[in-house]
């Protein structure tokens, strides 16, 4: 079997280590999966990949139960400050984008995988005339986004965008790219539906190659990949965006520094499925909410939302269509 890089099509891939899962369903899906690194572009990807149907089943069952994306981390009565972690992220992203947002009388803004809309909210504050569109699958998120006056589509971007026949000035793709079986295809679809001069914001987890075998700031700490398909460092993400045809005026690490991630958080993924069975759900949800907002209770961590560079947990990028 010849293994091909998902982004540069090179066939020289090198095995890194086995894929780490955190749920029973994830073990069934990724139990025989390995991480491979492309010798040409440096992308790390899963081999073999699950099928589209297997992934869809996984997301329908496990994802919103096991990650910081569930309705249980939001309290919509207090939106947008229901969750200060999401609120600060939205504000810092809107601040980062503002010097790059094209001038237009009525901006068309699209968020693919909008969640509860904290990023669209922050952009709406700055561009009140903008028309905001979201693509989102989770019904609780869809209802909430519509209540904010955002137009929502619930089918995949590859189907919704060609049907819409509309072009956008700002597209947000935050923590989506690393989940896709065909990341290059998604970027091409977005490129085709941007106005000239329009910008694409991509945010993905920052997984430095060295951290896969030893953790940079905490050598013993393990981590998990589930359910990510691709793992990025800034040069790899930049190369992928540029090869799609974008100019990339900004691409850097962002967010909390890895040294602030506690040993418990690194170990929790391994124990989570076990703890989740033993702990009453309201208690588990409470602990997750506390852990999601923990960064905000330490002043220097709150500032990390507005700082860039070094060993931080995310990569943020801004790309422009010429
Ligand atoms: Zn490659």
**Once rounded to an integer, what is the mean pLDDT over residues 71-94?**
82
Q: How far is the CA of 266 from the centre of ligand 1 (A)?
A: 28
122 inside domain: yes
266 inside domain: yes
Instruction: Write the CA distances from 228 to 31, 80, 124, integer angstroms.
Output: 13, 28, 30
Q: How far is the CA of 201 from the centre of ligand 1 (A)?
A: 21
Q: How far is the CA of 129 from the centre of ligand 1 (A)?
A: 41
Instruction: Write the CA distances from 278 to 61, 77, 267, 281, 284, integer angstroms.
Output: 19, 30, 17, 9, 9
CA distance 90 to 71: 17
For 5, list phi and psi in degrees, rounded to 5.
-65, 135
54 inside domain: no
284 inside domain: yes
Q: How far is the CA of 264 from the centre of ligand 1 (A)?
A: 33
| Whether 297 contacts 174, CB under 8 Å | no
In terms of Cα–Cα distance, which of 292, 285, 286 is closest to 265?
A: 292
250 inside domain: yes
198 inside domain: yes
Q: How far is the CA of 110 from the centre of ligand 1 (A)?
A: 28
Q: Average the pLDDT over each of 37-46, 74-83, 125-134, 176-185 and give the range with the smallest value.
A: 74-83
Q: Average the pLDDT over each of 83-87, 93-97, 121-125, 156-160 and give the range with the smallest value.
A: 83-87
Cα angle for residues 100, 307, 80 (degrees, 5° grid): 75
Confidence of residue 280 (pLDDT cuts 50, 70, 90): confident
Q: How far is the CA of 186 from the centre of ligand 1 (A)?
A: 17
Which segments of 78-226 are extended strands (E)?
108-112, 131-135, 151-153, 168-174, 194-205
> Domain range for residue 91?
75-321
**Domain count within the chain:** 1
Q: Which residues contact 68 (CB under 8 A, 6 or more apart)?
A: 85, 288, 292
Give ion ligand 1 contacts, CB < 5 A.
5, 8, 10, 38, 40-41, 43
Q: How far is the CA of 185 from the centre of ligand 1 (A)?
A: 15
pLDDT of residue 60: 77
pLDDT above 70: percentage of residues in the chain: 81
| Whether 261 contacts 205, CB under 8 Å | no
| Whether 240 contacts 293, CB under 8 Å | no
Q: How far is the CA of 42 from the centre of ligand 1 (A)?
A: 6
Pairing of strands 246-257, 168-174: unpaired
The model's pTM = 0.87
CATH number at residue 88: 3.40.50.150
| Whether 17 contacts 56, CB under 8 Å | no
Assess whether pLDDT exceeds 70 at residue 38: yes
Q: How far is the CA of 246 from the centre of ligand 1 (A)?
A: 18
In the block, tokens 């955190």 appear at 22
226 inside domain: yes
CA distance 171 to 178: 16
User: What are residue 239's DSSP bridge partners?
Assistant: none
222 inside domain: yes
Q: How far is the CA of 4 from the centre of ligand 1 (A)?
A: 8
């Amino acid at each position: 079997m010849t293994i091909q890089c998902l982004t540069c099509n090179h066939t020289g891939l090198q095995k890194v280590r086995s894929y780490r899962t955190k749920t029973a369903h994830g073990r069934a899906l990724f139990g025989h999966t390995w991480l491979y690194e492309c010798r040409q572009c440096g992308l790390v990807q899963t081999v073999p990949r699950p099928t589209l149907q297997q992934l869809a089943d996984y997301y329908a069952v496990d994802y919103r139960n096991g990650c910081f994306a569930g309705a249980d981390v939001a309290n919509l009565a207090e939106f947008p400050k229901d969750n200060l972690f999401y609120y600060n992220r939205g504000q810092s992203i809107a601040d980062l984008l503002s010097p790059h947002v094209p001038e237009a009388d009525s901006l068309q803004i699209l968020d693919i995988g909008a969640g509860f809309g904290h990023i669209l909210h922050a952009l709406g504050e700055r561009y009140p005339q903008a028309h905001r569109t979201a693509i989102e699958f989770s019904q609780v998120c869809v209802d909430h986004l519509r209540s904010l006056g955002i137009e929502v589509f619930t089918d995949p971007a590859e189907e919704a965008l060609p049907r819409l026949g509309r072009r956008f000035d700002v597209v947000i793709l935050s923590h989506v790219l690393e989940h896709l079986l065909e990341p290059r295809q998604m970027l091409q679809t977005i490129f085709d539906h941007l106005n000239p001069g329009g910008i694409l914001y991509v945010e993905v987890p920052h997984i430095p190659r060295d951290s896969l075998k030893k953790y940079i700031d905490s050598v013993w700490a393990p981590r998990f990949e589930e359910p990510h398909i691709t793992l990025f460092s800034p040069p790899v993400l930049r190369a992928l965006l540029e090869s799609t045809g974008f100019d990339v005026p900004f691409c850097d690490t962002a967010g909390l520094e890895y040294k602030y991630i506690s040993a418990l958080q690194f170990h929790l993924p391994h124990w989570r499925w076990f703890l989740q069975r033993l702990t009453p759900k309201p208690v588990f949800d409470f602990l997750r909410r506390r852990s999601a907002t923990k960064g905000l209770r330490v002043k220097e961590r709150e500032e990390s939302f507005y700082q860039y560079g070094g060993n931080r947990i995310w990569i943020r990028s801004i790309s422009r269509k010429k």
